[in-house]
Structure 1
């Protein structure tokens, strides 16, 4: 006997042949949507499930076992001129049209998803309710997902799109998933061998975020690294190749009696995931690398300031989230206090708080 489903407009998962999941946001946002692919595949194993993401975030979903094809939009298309961009857009549309999707799941407020639902005409489609949007937005979808408040983690909010269709995710499918791949794992193993390290004998520290108002003071992070070294732990530092992040790592290294091992600016996203997967602990701030750590199953110590830890904290792994209890104004989402790029709720956090959390996870 089939289980009773109280949702009157639930879709028959067994009839889905092809589905498209659209997530046009940053790296961490895309990775936090990875459970949608796992849960949909578990409910519709016969379906081919594609992703549509920005080109620079594609590595967040490539090699995912539930993803058939990854379609991308390159932000650089705008530099091709009117004709060049039109050709690129048309090629993408034709590729999507050829897939003949039965279902489109649109996970953001981006208008492109609504227009694709209208143009591709899937049998079913779901998009988020967006306050202030016209009827045209709502009428672009067969189902509209009710959005939740900031106390609900974004992984669950993404999965709510499936729940709106009558598909209930199981506990095994709700974790984030990122597959580094063998080439990335081999490259990282070679780097570690050069340091005299192997898997699970080092701590990975990624101190930066692309948004610097989310970053902890350099001297505080250097104090944590120095104490971990004093306690016998090898530390590997990473950062993106941007000048600001490179400068941050250099400032940390300059404060250490013995410089940490560093792969700053040297790794692809897949290689960063492979490194984190090989670590025994990850320490960082609210950033895509923090979500990568959760997706590869590495315990996480995460520092949160103005951003919301309930909505964006480490998901599905042993974790300690360090936040200020003295700032009732957080999470405010502001670009530093008063827009000054420095967040008091982060600068107040002590090195000892982070070290205590790290020791707890290392001992567990």
Structure 2
């Protein structure tokens, strides 16, 4: 392998969820710095690439259906065949590696250590990064950055996560926002990451009692709306403002940059909040912070998460966990499936979160 190689066309294969796409942006930034004149494109599934809107390091995005089928596969093959000099494959999945092989003459990819299909993937790669797994000690941002190891000096720091370009808020929302607002994101995609809604209700009630404005975020999906509906009863505008289903990612960036603090679970919006620089309180259950803690926007020291710290912080991000010997288990909850319960999450009490908010964000002054 030519470690001094110059690549003119680079494809980043990011075929996972929205949050995973956002966490590829340090890799993309590092590739841009290494090859400033290259054309860099990102391939992902439809509906997942919105986090890259306005990203100055991305020249184009390619969206593919999550289910290609035979016809879609043949069309993708024809569209991608050897268009690129280098493919950076950020997902261990079979399809991601097949697409990378089709697209580029040289390939650097992440492979699972114990997966039965790994040998054929390794044979297709010029450089392989072994995935640490959910109980591992390497953060996913660092792992993705390691795809460039053959071409970077070992001392090169990992760049920050790049948030989407900010977009103005709707005028009716901008007019009611107060300085010092706290953004609360209640919904989680999976049950095993869901902090109890009754805890969120107590949190929202407590924040309003402290004189803080609370802004709720979430999507228009049925699950998100089910989570948010009970919280709407905790107050009225302008003390409580529900923006769920109304904002794009660029508008959420604007909202977060105006806020005093953000509270949310292990989800894509928490990663987005961390990237904006707002103080973040992230509520973690089974997930391993060493792998999945939101990546801080600014830090004066190396980012050093531990698997179980109770309360730990780096830069603008604070992670709260229950103090149990099994935390984090790195599994999909206690029953290890997406609809599983996670007994650790209810043990993070609303009072504990309120105390952390008080520590990180002074209460607003009472009106004269």
CA drift of 1:189 comes to 4.6
**What is the number of equivalent residue pairs in this alignment?**
338
CA drift of 1:118 comes to 3.4
Q: Distance in 2 between matches of 1:120 and 1:58?
A: 19
Q: Which of 100, 112, 122 does residue 95 from structure 2 map onto?
A: 112
Is the contact made by 2:87 and 2:103 (CA closer than 8 Å) also made in structure 1?
no
CA drift of 1:168 comes to 4.5
Q: Distance in 2 between matches of 1:255 and 1:62?
A: 34
Q: Does 1:239 align with 2:218?
A: yes
TM-score, normalised by the number of residues in structure 2: 0.84
Residue number in structure 2 paired with 1:12: 4
Q: Distance in 2 between matches of 1:353 and 1:197?
A: 26
Q: Deviations over 1:50-82 (max 9, x none)?
A: 10111111111232111111011122655xxx5
> Which structure 2 residue ranges, 5 or more long, are not aligned?
298-315, 364-368
SS of aligned partner of 2:84: coil
Q: Distance in 2 between matches of 1:264 and 1:353?
A: 25
CA drift of 1:248 comes to 1.7
Q: Distance in 2 between matches of 1:129 and 1:20?
A: 17
Is the contact made by 2:200 and 2:231 (CA closer than 8 Å) also made in structure 1?
yes
Q: Deviations over 1:317-363 (max 9, x none)?
A: 412111011x2112224443335732111101111211121122214
TM-score, normalised by the number of residues in structure 1: 0.85
CA drift of 1:97 comes to 3.5
Q: Distance in 1 between matches of 2:14 and 2:153?
A: 19
Q: Distance in 1 between matches of 2:271 and 2:95?
A: 26
Is the contact made by 2:87 and 2:107 (CA closer than 8 Å) also made in structure 1?
yes
Residue number in structure 2 paired with 1:193: 174
Residue number in structure 1 paired with 2:349: 350
Residue number in structure 2 paired with 1:153: 139
Residue number in structure 2 paired with 1:217: 196
Is the contact made by 1:285 and 1:302 (CA closer than 8 Å) also made in structure 2?
yes
Q: Deviations over 1:219-241 (max 9, x none)?
A: 21122112221222111001221
Where do residues 1-364 of structure 1 align in structure 2 (5 Å cutoff)?
9=1, 11-13=3-5, 15-75=6-66, 77=68, 86=71, 88-97=72-81, 100-122=83-105, 124-130=106-112, 131=114, 132-133=116-117, 135-148=119-132, 150-166=136-152, 168=154, 170-171=156-157, 174-181=159-166, 185-186=167-168, 188-194=169-175, 196-197=176-177, 200-256=179-235, 260-317=240-297, 318-325=316-323, 327-338=324-335, 341-363=340-362
Q: Distance in 2 between matches of 1:216 and 1:93?
A: 42
Residue number in structure 1 paired with 2:302: none
CA drift of 1:286 comes to 0.5
Q: Distance in 1 between matches of 2:222 and 2:126?
A: 46
- CA distance 1:251–1:341, change in 2 (3 Å): farther
Q: Distance in 1 between matches of 2:154 and 2:12?
A: 17
CA-based RMSD: 2.4
CA drift of 1:244 comes to 2.4
Q: Distance in 1 between matches of 2:184 and 2:164?
A: 20
